[in-house]
Structure formats: C-alpha cells, structure tokens
Structure 1
C-alpha cells in the first residue's frame, strides 16, 4: 500500500455514481493483485465460495443469492468449468442444473480465501476500524437501492 501516499487523494467527480464506480474498480484491482498467486480473480473466488456454500443448489438459486442474472452467472461459470474447478450436472429435473466444486476447485478457493484474508486485513488497516464500519453501513444502504 506504499503507492497510496503518491495517489491519495484523487480528485472526486461531481457524479456520485462515478465516485462509487471508480472506488469499486480500485478495490477490485487491489484484491485481484493480492489474489494473483491463487490464479483466481476476486469475482471467481467469490463465485467459488458461493458455490461451496450453496452445495447442491441450482444455477438459478446461486444466481439469485448473488443478485445476478442466470446469463451472467453462466458466462462466469464457463472458465471455472474449463479449468476443472466446478462441475455442472443435471438437477432434479431436465430443466435445472446444479453446480458443485471439484477437489481442485476447493483447493483453489481455499488458497484464494487465505489471500483474501490478507487483503481484508490490509483494507482494515488502511481505512481504520471506525471508517470501515461507516463504509460498510453506507454500502449496505446503497445496495438496498435495488430490491
């Protein structure tokens, strides 16, 4: 986080969306850099964790829990399937499909999770506990804008 002294504060935009979007991209880049040794991006790690916690659920149920549409989820599942990290099988009926982690997927998720913990500590140290608590509350409030 040494580079922060050189770049903070960045000029803000008069547009709230742009400020939130730019901050979101910067945080994603930070997490992706920390997770790089695992071979996963923060989005892929999050997806593997969701699949791990939703073991036996359908793709539709996983998409709903992640607040994304099925098309986006299917697109994001493809590289994980090709990498052998997940398996997609037929569900209870022919219209549903279930997604599960492979052993390799579990190992990759565990390594990424360990690195994610390091990123979490870094963010907490950078923001401080008080600002992080405020930030978390504000993000939950903003997320509530969409049902």
Structure 2
C-alpha cells in the first residue's frame, strides 16, 4: 500500500474531515454545557424531545439518525437523573413515548442560552457565508 494513498485519504476524505470537525465541536459544546450537567449529545437529545406531544422512541431515533439500541442507552442516564420519562404509549404498549420532566425542562431552559452563546461564537469565527453553506452541505449529506 503506497503512502500516497494515505495522504490522499488524509487530504480528501469527507468522512475524516466531518468526524474531526464533529469531535472538535463536541469538545467545545461539552465544555460549555458542563455547568448545567449535560453533554452536547444529551442536549441534542433533550431538544429532540422538546415537542408539543411526546415523541416515540422510533421517531426520535429517526430524527437523530440513531439506531434504537443506541438511543435507549443514551436515554438511561437522562431517565436516571429525572430529566426524561419513558412510558408505554396508551394505544400501543410496545411503543415508548419520551417526555421531558419538569426538571428536564428546567435544565434544558438553562442550557439553551449557553448553546446560543457558544454557537454564536463558533459562527463568528467563520467567514460570513460559511455557516449557511456548511449547514446546507451537511443536510444534503444526511
């Protein structure tokens, strides 16, 4: 295997560059959200649950592009900490409804201003047109 192939992948691989950027952003948001006791993943998950009606586990898994097993594992600490409630759906006992508790809503409300400030700082560090173009490109890939 020629070393040139390694350099090609290093320089051109979209997956590699998206993963690196995602890890850097994750570290930044994890640090920012630490005072409210959330990780970036927990914040995103809780935001996905912040809906007028309790979503099903399957709907949230699709929204976050997660498999159900991974989502169930991610919900366990939130449920343990009293931030999320998981109940059987009344019309289909096999389906699970996910709801933010009162405590979960309070924590999420305290996290949103932190997210806004951190997000604004990240966008301010990018050239003006990049954030919208980046969002559009990532949406197209997903």
Q: Say whether the fold is shared (TM-score over 0.5).
A: yes
The count of corresponding residues between Structure 1 and Structure 2 is 132
Deviates more, 1:60-69 or 1:36-45: 60-69
Whole-Å separation in 2 of the counterparts to 1:102 and 1:81: 9
Instruction: Provide runs of 4+ in structure 1 moved above 3 Å.
Output: none
Give runs of aligned pairs for residues 56-95 of structure 1, distance below 5 A. Answer: 56-92=54-90, 93-95=92-94
Give runs of aligned pairs for residues 122-137 of structure 1, distance below 5 A. Answer: 122-137=121-136
- Measured on the aligned residues, the alpha-carbon RMSD in Å equals 1.6
> What residue in structure 2 maps to residue 5 of structure 1?
none
Give runs of aligned pairs for residues 20-35 of structure 1, distance below 5 A. Answer: 20-35=18-33
Deviations 1:48-98 (A, max 9, x none): 111112632221122122221111110100000000001111112221111
Unaligned runs of 5+ in 2: 1-8
1:141 Cα offset (Å): 2.2
**SS at 1:94 equivalent:** strand
Residue 44 (structure 1) aligned to one of 42, 45, 56: 42
Residues 61 and 134 from structure 1, CA distance in 2 versus in 1: closer, same or farther, beyond 3 angstroms?
closer
Whole-Å separation in 2 of the counterparts to 1:24 and 1:53: 25
Q: TM-score, normalised by structure 2?
A: 0.85
**SS at 1:96 equivalent:** strand
Deviations 1:123-145 (A, max 9, x none): 111013212222222212222xx
Preserved contact between residue 55 and residue 99 of structure 1 (Cα < 8 Å): no
Unaligned runs of 5+ in 1: 1-11
> What residue in structure 1 maps to residue 10 of structure 2?
13
